């Protein structure tokens, strides 16, 4: 009899636990976006990637999933950003957030990037017609990570690129850096030695260069092209 009562009690406690978990689950709400970062140089055979940003009004909001609608006919890209709203004690402070958005391959044209919640235009995106059937105009290094080290007052910022070549015949030819508005686009161009005997081999690299001292302080999107088509994208704060 005692065993049966314990079993019933255990089932009831499990049931109450499930109810508690359900009521403690956060709500999903739509969050407003206030800014979009648009890298330059996309063609209609490129994988388009952008960044969007906004600000939560207190600490009970956390970044949720996002949805994307590309209207090639009307040349609009609408981003819907969702947030998880939790209960409990909320600190009344502004909390910035950002997301990297994978738009994918889109037809050439001049697009408006719109915020779904407010309908506001966040930025303009230009997609050119590609000049060749290949994915890129250059052979890029297989970069897997990129970051900028703040140089401090009166010192230059250092850009670092990390990754691994697939053989010893590859090396850096040039690293071009273009800064427009609030986006830093990096093209790590590779050259290959004319040696047909190159055997596959993993060769790690860490390449650093100084950035132009004229780059103003502030928040930027760092967009680094990579061999596999998955660019390195992150927001960096240059001090």
Handedness of CA 61, 63, 64, 69 (dihedral sign): positive
Distance CA 136, CA 133 (A): 9
- Give residue 204's Cα distance to chain centre: 24
Residue 133 is predicted with a pLDDT of: 66
Is residue 144 within 8 Å of residue 163, measured between CB atoms? yes
Residue ranges of the domains in the chain? Answer: 28-128, 143-238
Residue 195 is predicted with a pLDDT of: 67
- Sequential DSSP letters for 102-146: EEE---SEEEEEEETTT--EEEEEEEEPPSSSSS-SSPBP-EEEE
Could you say which residues of the chain have pLDDT below 70? 1-23, 133-136, 151-154, 195-196
What pTM was computed for the model? 0.83
Residue 146 is predicted with a pLDDT of: 98
Query: For residue 63, which of 36, 91, 99 has the smallest C-alpha distance?
Result: 99
């Amino acid at each position: 009899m005692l065993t049966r009562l314990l079993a019933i009690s255990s089932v009831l406690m499990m049931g109450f636990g499930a109810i508690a978990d359900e009521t403690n689950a956060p709500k999903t709400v739509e969050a407003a976006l206030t800014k979009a970062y648009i890298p330059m140089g996309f063609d209609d055979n490129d994988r388009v990637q952008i960044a969007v940003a906004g600000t939560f009004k207190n600490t009970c909001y956390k970044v949720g999933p996002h949805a994307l609608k590309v209207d090639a006919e009307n040349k609009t890209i609408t981003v819907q950003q969702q947030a998880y709203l939790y209960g409990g004690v909320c600190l009344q402070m502004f909390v910035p957030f950002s997301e990297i958005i994978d738009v994918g391959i889109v037809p050439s044209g001049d697009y408006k990037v719109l915020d779904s919640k407010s309908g506001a235009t966040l930025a303009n995106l230009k997609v050119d017609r590609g000049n060749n059937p290949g994915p890129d105009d250059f052979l890029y290094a297989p970069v897997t990570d990129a970051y900028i080290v703040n140089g401090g007052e009166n010192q230059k910022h250092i850009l670092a690129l990390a990754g691994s070549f697939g053989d010893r015949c590859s090396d850096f030819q040039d690293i071009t850096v273009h800064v427009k508005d609030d986006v830093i686009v990096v093209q790590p161009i590779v050259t290959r030695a004319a040696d047909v005997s190159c055997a596959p081999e993993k060769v790690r690299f860490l390449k650093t260069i100084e950035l132009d001292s004229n780059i103003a302080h502030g928040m930027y999107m760092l967009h680094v092209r990579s061999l596999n088509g998955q660019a390195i994208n992150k927001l960096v704060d240059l001090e």
